[in-house]
Structure 1
Amino acid sequence: MDSTMDSGMLDVPGARLYFEVRGAGPVLLTILGGGGDAAMAAPLAGALADRYTVITYDRRGATRSPLTGPPYEQGIEEHADDALRLLSAVGEEPAHVFGTHSGALIALDLLARHPERVRRLVAHEPPAFSLLPDAAHWFALAGEAVALCLEEGVGPAMRKFGEETGVTAPPEPDPNLPAWVKDMLTRMNANMETSLRYEMLPFCRYVPDAAALRTAPLALASGVQTRSMLMHRCTLAVAGYLGLDPVELPGDYVGYLRSPAEYAAELHTLLAAPPGQP
């Protein structure tokens, strides 16, 4: 898709991570959630490559970042350690980080435990179910989705989950789509099984470290089109927990993919904000 993109593999404990690098300037690491992979962040990376060295990657267990052993239930901290290793592989300077959905939880953990490596974080719609007043309901829904995945497959599980959360499964590839988009959607559908079976339950119970994050260089954001939806509620809950004022970014929960140029401009503004500003 992008002739200026370089790719590579990074060996980490228990996995091999596929990553892509675009652009020049200060490092910006993007961390996606669910079944998303480096290709899903590619349009945003392309729109930011004139200002940043943008690193996108497939998280461990995804199709191009295979585990080196049998699959197992994974925790947020393990994924944050992977993000740290990626940053260490490209240099020692603090990096900007953009994390969305479960990628935002991973980024929050990275910032909390390794603040010296993060220049500024924009965490978009972190699904911190544990901070909601009706957390028990969402834990139960996550459990039902995982059970459905095991019994009937990804499609029924994501339909059940999406009915209440508004987060839907990736569509089936349309033959008329560009080849890179068809390939991405095929991988995303495969990655959703890993996300449901091995990430959803431990991820949704993760509680951010308030003491470490309340004074950290951090902006919490939600999509302007997701107001009143679950992920917007989660963003407000995390913001209240950390004593921060949330902001909005364009679009819905995948605004960075639908409108990458507009999203990149707003994200750059947040990343370049002086310390102490949202």
Structure 2
Amino acid sequence: MKTGMLAVPGAEIYYEVRGSGPPLLLINGGDGDAAMFGPLAGLLAEGHTVITYDLRGNSRSRLTGPPAPQWIEEHAHDAHLLLSAVAAEAPAYVFGTSYGGMIGMDVLARHPGQVRALVAHEPFVIDLLPDADRWHALFQEVYELYEREGADPAMRRFSDAIGVDGPPEPAGSLPAPVREMLARLRANLETCLAYELRTFVRFRPDVEALRAARFALVVGGEGPTTLLHRTTQALAERVGTGIVEFPGGHVGFLSHAAGFAAALRGAFAD
């Protein structure tokens, strides 16, 4: 595995590259970082040049200016610059989960020549829901709770509302790399709550661009139905496409890496 840092406007992006073959960019969401894709990336590297990275302001991708509200379009520009730097020879397959799926959609819309195919896993496109205003108000309440009481109470409120658990504590019994990853994820909650959540969920994808592209929507096929199943269905109805079930739940790419890798290869098959 190769690692590197890429200077982009307002940040330095940490990235990892594995394997060889057609480029495949994996984009995480929320508080996640490149390490969450480690098992999946290792499996996919058997046939692809797999690129993973930490989103700006998260984990090892530090901001070079003062923190401020962030937008999906800004993150999509980061992904565009990363692909231009490390995978300029051919258009890339792109997989994004949660916010990452939304980032991938914006890259596809703005730079269609860079994206060979896009798979979006449980995108958090709240603004497409008929009750979007209620959710925007709730996320404002989550932010205010964070300001008053800190990240843990705010994340409990957020997780209970959307039906997806936050990251676990980095317990001492876990292997050191896992503890280190979980410690980074917990630190990333601050960025998520303060600068990402309320702005990211205002993103509206370019539906016409998605209709014209190789684009697939997928959800975790195990566990309870969550708010992210609703948002995925809302986007599917706009685009006029079906929804495919992948192994596991919202983090199936980590908990069911082998089955997820097989499903993703199938989705990208030409």
**Equivalent residue in structure 1 for 2:69, among 70, 73, 78:** 73
Give the Cα–Cα distance (whole angstroms) in 2 for the partners of residues 144 and 204 of structure 1: 14
Q: Report the counterpart of residue 14 of structure 1 in structure 2.
A: 10
TM-score, normalised by the number of residues in structure 1: 0.95
2:21 paired with 1:61? no
Secondary structure at 2:60's aligned position in 1?
coil
1:228 is displaced (CA, Å) by: 2.8
Secondary structure at 1:225's aligned position in 2?
coil
Give the Cα–Cα distance (whole angstroms) in 2 for the partners of residues 56 and 242 of structure 1: 27
Question: Which portions of structure 1, spanning 4 or more consecutive aligned residues, are displaced by more than 3 angstroms?
Answer: none
**Equivalent residue in structure 2 for 1:136, among 127, 133, 138:** 133
Give the Cα–Cα distance (whole angstroms) in 1 for the partners of residues 5 and 28 of structure 2: 18
| Code of the aligned partner of 2:197 | M
1:168 is displaced (CA, Å) by: 2.1
| Code of the aligned partner of 1:44 | L
2:25 paired with 1:29? yes
Structure 2 unaligned segments of length 5 or more: list them.
none
**Equivalent residue in structure 1 for 2:265, among 268, 272, 276:** 268
Q: Report the counterpart of residue 91 of structure 2 in structure 1.
A: 94
2:156 paired with 1:159? yes
Secondary structure at 1:96's aligned position in 2?
strand
Is the CA contact 1:33–1:102 (under 8 Å) kept in the aligned structure 2? Answer: yes
2:249 paired with 1:257? no
| Code of the aligned partner of 1:17 | I
Cα separation, partners in 2 of 1:65 and 1:36, compared to 1, 3 Å: same
Give the Cα–Cα distance (whole angstroms) in 2 for the partners of residues 156 and 164 of structure 1: 12
| Code of the aligned partner of 2:244 | V
| Code of the aligned partner of 1:126 | P
Structure 1 unaligned segments of length 5 or more: list them.
none
What does the per-residue CA deviation read over 1:119-165, in whole Å, with 9 as the maximum and x for residues that have no partner? 00100000111111111111111111111111111111110011121
2:120 paired with 1:126? no
Number of residue pairs aligned between Structure 1 and Structure 2: 269
What does the per-residue CA deviation read over 1:164-206, in whole Å, with 9 as the maximum and x for residues that have no partner? 2112221111111111100000000001110111011111111
> Where does 1:166-185 land on structure 2 (aligned, <5 Å)?
166-185=163-182
Is the CA contact 1:155–1:169 (under 8 Å) kept in the aligned structure 2? Answer: no
2:239 paired with 1:242? yes
Give the Cα–Cα distance (whole angstroms) in 2 for the partners of residues 101 and 150 of structure 1: 24
Q: CA RMSD in A?
A: 1.0
Q: Report the counterpart of residue 50 of structure 1 in structure 2.
A: 46
2:212 paired with 1:203? no
Give the Cα–Cα distance (whole angstroms) in 2 for the partners of residues 147 and 28 of structure 1: 38
Is the CA contact 1:146–1:196 (under 8 Å) kept in the aligned structure 2? Answer: yes
| Code of the aligned partner of 1:146 | Y
TM-score, normalised by the number of residues in structure 2: 0.97
Matched residues, percent identical? 55
Is the CA contact 1:226–1:232 (under 8 Å) kept in the aligned structure 2? Answer: no
1:226 is displaced (CA, Å) by: 4.9
Is the CA contact 2:164–2:226 (under 8 Å) kept in the aligned structure 1? Answer: no
Secondary structure at 1:112's aligned position in 2?
helix
